[in-house]
Amino acid sequence: MSAAAMHAPGQSGSGDASLGHVATGTLDATHGVVLYLEDISVSFDGFKALNKLSLAIDVGELRCVIGPNGAGKTTMMDVITGKTRPDEGTVFFGQTIDLTRLTEPEIAHAGIGRKFQKPTIFEHHSVFENLELSMKADKRVRKTLFAKLSSEEGDRIAEMLDRIRLADSAGREAGLLSHGQKQWLEIGMLLMQEPKLLLLDEPVAGMSDDETERTAELFLTLAGKHSLVVVEHDMAFIGKIARKVTVLHEGSVLAEGPLAQVQEDPRVIEVYLGR
Amino acid sequence: MTSPILTARSGLARRLYGPAGWLAILVAVLVAFLLFPVLNLAVAPESPFHISAYWVTLIGKIMCYAMVAIAMDLIWGYAGILSLGHGLFFALGGYAMGMYLMRQIGRDGQYQSDMPDFMVFLDWKEFPLAWWNSDQFWWCALLVVAVPGLLAYAFGFFAFRSRVKGVYFSIITQALTYAAMLLFFRNNTGFGGNNGFTDFKRILGTPITTPETRMVLFAVTAAVLIGTLLLARTIVTSKLGRILTAIRDAEQRVMFCGYNPVHYKLFIWVVSAMICGLAGALYVPQVGIINPGEMSPANSIEIAIWVAVGGRGTLVGAVLGAFLVNGGKSFLTQQFPEYWFYFLGLIFILSTLFLPNGVVGLVKSWRKK
Ligand SMILES: Nc1ncnc2c1ncn2[C@@H]1O[C@H](COP(=O)(O)OP(=O)(O)OP(=O)(O)O)[C@@H](O)[C@H]1O
Ligand SMILES: [Mg+2]
């Protein structure tokens, strides 16, 4: 992806191809790997939340990550998105982008979107505005002061509203949505960013069975076009979407493979039953 | 396309103000540019309709405070950053204008020197570096916004980049204005020590205390206040304004959307400081004095109280709060001067308890019923 292509078309006055405050380079995934973590360690006051964690995600892959509470799943996402710096190890996005050197906004620009464990949306903005703010666009101060919503951009937001089934709530304050709707809105916000890689931390927590079902369908349609890393405790949901599953335990990979194989692994059974 | 989307979209392209808002502004314009000048200058002092100089100066002064309140609302109400040092930016603008007014005294001071009296008194032979070019109005007018703006930029750059937030940020700004006050109290700093600047004679060559000059200053202040309000409203209704409130509510999400909050905070912080500088510059010629007392920590806290009373995040609430609290202050300090601070404390406690969204919030909730 070229730097210029990061901006939405029809952005007011964006004739220049110069990308704002971030020069993150382009994603080079020629070897088919979009994300590569190697020997990542993170400790909090001597406690090792991640311990020599290594993981590789392929382009277009849908990877499920499971593991007991405190296994380090959220911490792993914190490391990938720049919120937490690892004590050791490397994180590469494609072949060339070293994520440990970038800030959170730069990582977002490079093409990584993240859904938090606790739904994080802009509660005092309308649903429409939530999507507008997260939409891929020039995100520099000067440009946003004079930004006008083009009709194409409006259409893209309208499409997304339909897709996340919130078209009837477009003008509502997002804080008034149900928990499941907030989850969907946050997923919609991620998609508006047009990321290459989506990190989804417990996306179906608090959703009704019906909503969970639809989320599974959505993720299956996204795989291929995007790479996805899904963290979930809901095994029924995992069962619906799983291809390759990674089990984390005490900060490192305990097992990896197809769901059925992982579920039969005695070490995995012990970790889950031992609790 | 379904209709809710269309309404949401039109809601997005928010107008600056609705018809009622523009009407209110029109009324303010008529009062400031027609009613006050006529009733003050043209109507005889004996007439019951005459507006005295006292009122012109008082309202002129409060309009300056209202600009500061708007500046505070931008940074606190919209971006969620509570500054307890905005009095400093106000005072710096005042001092920049004060330097020019001191130079305008010329040889009419007590010592009949080209230098201001306090410098003669200290036996200084030449102007300190900070006074360079201070006899030029344009230069001082530039300093009025540039000095607060640059200081805010330097301070904000480090504070926001190091992710200093919440109460820590507030305390540091409070310390900043306190430190500046101590600095300005010193005679060696070169700005008149604890007496500051006063006894102004002229502005742009015309005598400063005549009714006409007073009225011109009043009208200019009114124009700048309305301009400030419209500028602030333009900012908060833009996409940038929505990002500021998003930073206030969920900064993490803003960062993961690809916006760098540091740049946004810095922008609104500097704009806010420059508005304060402008307000200070308009305040000094009307009130006739500027001294380090303006930098006292209590002054900056008062600014936050105006905004809290009027209603945060509404702009108009800031203006209203500045008028209500300062109107009350000038009334009470005449009647019971020693009790003002108790009243202020009481107002603050009552408004936080019973008016969490200020007067504007109260009016809004009435309207909904
Ligand atoms: N900022 C922090 N300071 C101290 N300890 C932390 C911090 N963040 C995480 N931890 C600890 O690190 C461990 C891993 O936490 P993490 O949130 O990554 O687990 P998780 O796998 O996401 O668990 P869950 O399934 O409950 O969400 C936990 O023991 C947690 O208490
Ligand atoms: Mg977690």
pLDDT at B14: 62
pLDDT at A17: 35
Q: Where are the domains of chain B?
A: 21-51, 58-295
Candidate from A150-164, A261-275, B270-284, B346-360 with smallest mean pLDDT: A261-275
Query: What's the CA-to-centroid distance between A74 and ligand 2, angstroms?
Result: 4
Query: What's the CA-to-centroid distance between A230 and ligand 2, angstroms?
Result: 11
Pocket residues: Cβ below 6 A from ligand 1: A 44, 49, 67, 69-75, 117
Q: How confident is the model at residue B343 (pLDDT cuts 50, 70, 90)?
A: confident
**Above 70 in pLDDT, residue A14?**
no
**Above 70 in pLDDT, residue A8?**
no
Tell me the average pLDDT across B178-196.
Answer: 96
**Above 70 in pLDDT, residue A177?**
yes
**Above 90 in pLDDT, residue B134?**
yes
Residues on chain A touching B251 (C-beta within 8 angstroms): none
Query: What's the CA-to-centroid distance between A36 and ligand 1, angstroms?
Result: 21
Q: What is the pLDDT of residues A187-246, one digit of tens each?
A: 999 999 999 999 999 999 888 899 999 999 999 999 989 999 999 999 999 999 988 999
Minimum distance, in Å, between the CA of residue A147 and any CA atom of chain B: 6
Residue nearest to atom 3 of ligand 1 (CA): A44
Q: What is the pLDDT of residues A89-147, one digit of tens each?
A: 999 999 889 999 999 999 999 999 999 989 899 999 999 999 999 999 999 999 999 99
Sequence-distant (≥ 6) Cβ neighbours of residue B16 within 8 angstroms: B230, B233, B234, B237
Residues on chain B touching A123 (C-beta within 8 angstroms): 249-250
Averaged confidence pLDDT in chain B: 93
